[in-house]
Structure 1
């Protein structure tokens, strides 16, 4: 049975058709979701824990009396995991830690003029919230991706929320990362609790983590409140684009496309290649591999949004890729690093035959929280800087101020800001003995 056969010749399409092929699956604006989330946030603001209890029973079918997970339960999670899994988590933790420690920025400390010292220092965020989705797959890998850079940055308070029942994998990942403030609450109500605070869940300064449409809408709404909680990003459904030439392995490409297609029905995967023979082999391999995958219905829906596109040459592949600005970009060509030199828009890039996207999702060390829907044109992957803030420091000596004073007075006068000028002049007059 053939499941997928969507091979498209790019240069046979009109401009509008090309745009349509590259457009992401349309997430219909759902006024019901907006209205529901707004109501949830307001109820959490007014009723705190009682609202959390109500929504947890309604959406998660769990009757929760104590939202905070006990330290005993967190530490005992280790007993329910196999040594093989714990060892694998440990490898991932080591690599993610190594990569993110390398992101620690250097302090800037320069003397722009004699007696004028300027610095840039980095301070950790005081309190952050980490949201880990529930559902059929416990995303303990996301715990590592968020908790590790938060810890390296020195964030003073880290709160984790996840829908009940929280899996032992998630609890264990949090435990080995040193996170012990864990609350079994999910959905939009968890985002509201982190943003507003309740009798039990502390208010945080910034919220991190993925989620469904309700969680994403809740993040948008709480970040729009005056003096509201900051958020990391509004990441949409997962997406993957592959650039490949005739040296690529069609089975590898098919496997990579399917790995992202199983994320959900709104995901999208695209292959760009100048090689028609490769495209045909990839389609055959996709249909063969589909027979062995468990999330078949989700994958088939994703493949309806996806395409194998035949282009003139690699240059056209690069041009289209930069236009699409993918979340994940795999380059399977004879000289992938040469192609890399021409890539301007992508969130996370994987080079060569032996770099599956799954490596970045789990254990290579890079972060898997990434901008989607073309946001990589201006936005970056999650990193250490997202858990910190830059602070500027300046210190002038009396000699330094005297030397710079005339420049400041002229500039402030030109902008007609007399008080600015006076703040300098009063000091200069003092130094000259006029006061």
Structure 2
């Protein structure tokens, strides 16, 4: 069912480790042509284009793209009490954890009368995308909205695809969570067209352009985010989810298999990887995977994901090599289920979120841990971070020098401007002392 990769006895260079990493055969650029057409259509025809795209791609034509307030109120009133309690607790936890991501303003005094104030300014207006494909993601509403609110974003627009099962409305649970968070500007639109509408605006429906688009989506959403970058910022080009588990002989194979399956049920292209120095554990996990894949609700999807080129059980000589492999993989979710997880953690550099020990499964992070579940996929954790309050903040340096403080560095500025053949730079300083 799942491929086995045996790296025991090999001394692999960093480049060879990267080459050994299993990946799904996905190419965002392959979707770019279609995404570009959808973007151009929205820019040219606005709401009509969004309605036509919904009818063609989502198999339903909503009455209007902008969601009326009464739909949100109805969804909040009809929300299952148990789900509401779970959402409210998740909001509370994510809000507390996100607050820790807001840096304080810091003033650095370099000399008498010479200061630099480092401050963090929230982005004024953002567009948050919540997918609605194979599953419903009310938790993604929380993960997008709460950090933006904590950062101080003043204007938030939320987009989610219209649902055929709900007569073209946004899924009611998504609407309900948005309502609980006080989001009033919601649009029934999905895919590349939604990204275009957020970035460029649709004046006819009161949708002003945003400065930043965040949130996960399919390959066309990722392609659209790549194409609109420059018109608006983006958080990342999200792809299929992935999980990597580092485990030794002390780990419970049933728990590892359950965690791998929990992520495999997202998508046929989801990656589920176990890296271990225990051949016995590898055999036991593979056996448990076969059992769970047959009995789980989304058996076909899970079986396809586990059998894909992106999933594997990887055998290594020791946990040091396991950590090196994980760093090359750059997992979205990393679980460390070893006898001394903190010792292994010291070796980890690249991961979106890390879950230590048998009682910290990825499912906890997906919902109620307080951490954010919008994380870098496809190895992007090697160079980028997950969504958080910092995503919605911009660092600004405010320079304030007195006349005497400027005089102290005037000769340095003149020397450097001469060395760079930009004499007007030095002249601009000298003019203040003429």
Match of 1:68? 66
What CA distance in whole angstroms lies between the structure 2 residues aligned with 1:14 and 1:408? 51
What CA distance in whole angstroms lies between the structure 1 residues aligned with 2:362 and 2:235? 22
Contact 1:405-1:428 at 8 Å conserved across structures = no
Of 36, 49, 65, 1:38 maps to 36
Match of 1:25? 24
Mapped pair 1:393 → 2:398: yes
Deviations 1:232-278 (A, max 9, x none): 10121111111111111111100011011111111111111111121
**1:127 Cα offset (Å):** 1.0
Deviations 1:292-321 (A, max 9, x none): 311111111111122212221112211211
Within 5 A, what are the aligned runs for 1:192-271?
192-198=196-202, 199-200=204-205, 201-223=207-229, 227-271=230-274
Aligned residues: 422
Contact 1:110-1:117 at 8 Å conserved across structures = yes
SS at match of 2:236: coil
Within 5 A, what are the aligned runs for 1:10-409?
10-11=7-8, 21-28=20-27, 31=30, 33-164=31-162, 165-198=169-202, 199-200=204-205, 201-223=207-229, 227-305=230-308, 306-409=311-414
Check 1:21–1:127 CA distance in 2 against 1; reply closer, same or farther (3 A cut): same
Mean Cα deviation higher: 4-13 or 111-120? 4-13
Deviations 1:191-226 (A, max 9, x none): 111111112132111111111122111111122xxx
What CA distance in whole angstroms lies between the structure 2 residues aligned with 1:14 and 1:421? 55
Q: Which runs of 5+ in 2 are unaligned?
A: 163-168
Q: Tell me how large the CA RMSD over aligned residues is.
A: 1.9
SS at match of 1:291: helix
Contact 1:96-1:365 at 8 Å conserved across structures = yes
What CA distance in whole angstroms lies between the structure 1 residues aligned with 2:34 and 2:313? 38
Q: Which runs of 5+ in 1 are unaligned?
A: 430-435
What CA distance in whole angstroms lies between the structure 1 residues aligned with 2:70 and 2:367? 27
- Report the TM-score when normalising by structure 2: 0.93
What CA distance in whole angstroms lies between the structure 1 residues aligned with 2:112 and 2:130? 51
What CA distance in whole angstroms lies between the structure 2 residues aligned with 1:287 and 1:321? 24
Larger Rg, first or second structure (1 or 2):
1
SS at match of 2:170: coil
Match of 1:433? none
